[in-house]
Structure formats: C-alpha cells, structure tokens
Amino acid sequence: MSCIIHRPNTIFPGILRKSRVEFKRHHFSFPSIFIYGHTASGKTYVTQTLLRSLELPHVFVNCVECFTLRLLLEQILNKLNHLSSSEGECSAHITCETFNDFVRLFKQKITEAENLKDQTVYIVLDKAEYLRDMEANLLPGFLRLQELTDRNVTVIFLSEIVWEKFRPNTGCFEPFVLYFPDYSIGNLQKILSHDHPPEYSADFYAAYINILLGVFYTVCRDLKELRHLAVLNFPKYCEPVVKGEAGERDTRKLWRNIEPHLKKAMQTVYLREISSSQWEKLQKDDTDPGQLKGLSAYTHVELPYYSKFILIAAYLASYNPTRTDKRFFLKHHGKIKKTNFLKKHEKTSNHLLGPKPFPLDRLLAILYSIVDSRVAPTANIFSQVSLMIGLEYVVYRFLFDLDSDS
C-alpha cells in the first residue's frame, strides 16, 4: 500500500484541520509507517511538525547518532521515560542491551505512565537505512512492535531509499508506505525566495533565485545544496548594485555579471572541494576554482574494498620471495629451519632491487590469506584485478621462454 504526498506546504494545513476533527487518540494506529524520498524533500519537517502541532506523544531518534543496537534502544527508552515523567522530575538512566529487554521495558514504561495509556505513542527513526547494518532481528522487530508489546505504538521510518531495499529475504510485516517526491522548480522558487536579506526587496531576490535555478536545476535539486549556492553567490550578484553600476531591475546587466561565476560554481556542486571562505576569495580574485584544492583533492582516488587488498597483495608478492609465503601467510606452517647462509644477491634489500614478477595464482593466494572474511574467486574479484591493471597500479606482462636455438 502506498500514497504520494505531493507537497507539505499545500496539503499540510489540510491534514491538520482534518485530523483535529476525525482524530481519536485512543484508536489504534497502523503498526509501522515507512516514509521515503530524496534528501531535503520535507520528510522530517512534516513528520515533526505534524506530531508537535497535534501534541502527540512521540520519540524522535536519529540512527546516525545511535550507531549501535544498545545506543538506539537506550535512546528510545530514556526519551520515553522523560516523556512519561512529570516536569521537574529527574528520571534514572535506563540500560538495555537486547531487543527482548527493550520489549519488556517498553511495556513496563507504557503501563506505568498514566499520560500514555489511552493514546498512540509514536517512535520516529530518522535515517532508517542505517538499521540494515545492525542485528537482523531489529527491523522485523520494530515493524511488529505493536504486536510484540500489545500496546498502542506506531513506528515511523524515515529513509532516502525505497522499501524494497529494506525488505528481508525471510519476509516481514509490510509497513504503510508514503512517498515524498522531489520539489518542483516552482516549489524551490517559493521556498528559496523566503530567505531574502532584509536590505533587498523580495522581487530582487526572487529574480536572483530564478537565475540560479535556471542554471543549477538540471543538475541539482537538493534544497540544502541550492540554498548553500544561493547564499554563496548572492554577494557577487549584488556587486553591480552596490557599486552603483546597475539598478535592481537591470536583470540583463546583473545576469552578465553573475553568469561566469555560476559556471565556475557548477564545477563544485556537491563536491565541497573548497570552503565557503576560499570560494569568496576566488570570487574576489577572479581565479579558477581548480587552482585551489581542499581536503578532497582531484587526485584522490577511493578504491573499492577488495581492490585495496589486491593492491596490498600485489605489493607483497612483488617484494617478497616465493619461499617466504609459507612463513608469512600460513598460520600453521610448521617448523622452519634457520640458516645463516644467504646468497650474494639476497644480502641486498628487496626494495632496492625493485619489484619482481609474480603469477596471478600467487596474487590470489596472498589475497585470500590477508582478508579477514572468506573470499570466493568470483568474477567480481577478477574484474577488480583488471581494474588495477587499467589504472596501472599493477603491470601485467606475458612471460614466456625463448628457445636458445631460435
């Protein structure tokens, strides 16, 4: 079951008016609600505002902050304890390590709290996609929390990914699904226009937002990123007005002034290659943003997980003799005879002699021994070996013997 919420600013007042008429606090609500949509589409704002405006008892938890099972369960229980306690009363900290303990303590707190008995309690889990990295029984447990506790409770999941990415293979209770679409260009125009500085007219700032969206809307629809770009480039847009070279209604002249700077800003959308102060300095100096790199430099390459170990395995294979593999990479290699005899060329450091060629089988054998988890020789592993060769981190050569008579 799914429902599309088109815009908070158009349907939200209607929801509140309708809810005040038909809403009954003692009625059981749907056990779990899954709300998803792109970042900055109003999911968290609408949910929090609705719960606060209707004065519904709720607990709001961010799963990024509560990155372990214990932190998450204790955060919910302690906020619920604070919610049920009277004003000025100091409540003791609750500890909880397992989901079974959580169900027991949750039932106990709801039973003890007189103000929570005859109404629905809402648990809101923001950034719910992080639940997939926790225990396997956590998500199915929250979906059926109303059934497990036999209490009037609804769990609301807020996520940026679709429900199909959550559903366990073993099956689970299906939540009520709500979808928040991205803001349209008209919605973004109205929202961003509310941020106009008091020293300038609303029409002047609205014209600037219209220009900004005309440039960035095709590549960026994130409200937070667009708001950041609007604040960052507005001083440059106002520059001709401040200098007295143009008026607020000289749109063409203002556009000619801001156009090259917006094109430069297109190179750093989402990347945050440079800070806001560095960007302002570049605007004043009229230099290329590529000349000043931040912490995330263009030359930085983030390799996939197994590619890093393949690179390490290649390094170990090229700088260590084959006869040392048994000693270095086997846990139970048996007794190895120690000898003081060294060949003449082995007295020199292997790093000074340079890397030596090695077969693919030896590379994979070392890879399997240095990775903690069990690695299967799948097409994914071989494709990442090809990736290392393509990036020229590993050099691949055909080696064959030449007949001396030929």
Question: Domain containing 170 — which CATH number?
Answer: 3.40.50.300
- Give residue for tokens 């639940």: 131
Contact (Cβ atoms closer than 8 angstroms) between residue 138 and residue 131: yes
- The verdict on residue 2 lying in a domain is no
Q: Are residues 217 and 313 in the same domain?
A: no
Per-residue confidence (pLDDT) for residue 86, from 0 to 100: 65
Same domain for 52 and 132, yes or no, is: yes
Over pLDDT 90: what percentage of the chain?
33
Residues 6+ positions from 297 with CB-CB distance below 8 Å: 273
pLDDT at 334: 60
- Point out the domain boundary residue: 122, 150, 179: 179
Residue 122 sits in the same domain as residue 208: no
41/131 same-domain check: yes
Mark whether 131 and 229 lie in a shared domain: no
- Residue located via tokens 């507005």: 234
CA distances from 196 to 174, 189, 200, 279 (A): 44, 12, 7, 21
Indicate the helix (H) or strand (E) that contains 157: strand 153-159
Choosing from 179, 196, 229, the residue where a domain stops is 179
Task: Tell which wins on pLDDT, 264 or 237.
Answer: 237
Under 8 Å between Cβ of 175 and 142? no
Question: For residue 46, is it within any domain?
Answer: yes
Domain total in the chain: 3
Name the residue range of residue 224's domain.
185-297
Q: Please state the rounded mean pLDDT for residues 34-39.
A: 94
- DSSP secondary structure code for residue 86 in this structure: P
Q: State the average pLDDT for the chain.
A: 80
Q: Same structural domain for residues 162 and 253?
A: no
> Does the predicted model carry a pTM greater than 0.85?
no
On whether both 215 and 123 belong to a single domain, the answer is no
The reply to whether 257 falls in a domain is yes
User: Looking at residue 283, what is its pLDDT?
Assistant: 59
At residue 289, what is the residue type? P
Query: Considering the domain boundaries, does residue 374 fall inside one?
Result: yes
* CA angle, residues 114, 143, 71, in degrees to nearest 5: 70
Q: Is residue 248 part of a domain?
A: yes
Give 297 or 387, the one with higher predicted confidence: 387
Q: For residue 310, is it within any domain?
A: yes
Most confident of 22-26, 98-102, 293-297: 98-102
Helix intervals (H) in 194-270: 202-216, 223-242, 251-265
Question: Do 226 and 359 lie in a common domain?
Answer: no
Using CA atoms, how far apart are residues 91 and 31, in angstroms rounded to an integer? 28
355 pLDDT exceeds 60? yes
One domain, residues 129 and 104: yes
Residues 239, 320 within the same domain = no
Q: Is residue 6 part of a domain?
A: no
- Among residues 274, 297, 320, the one where a domain terminates is 297
223 and 291 fall within a common domain: yes
Residues 99 and 156 in one domain: yes
**347 confidence band (pLDDT: 50, 70, 90):** low
Domain membership of residue 394 (yes or no) is yes
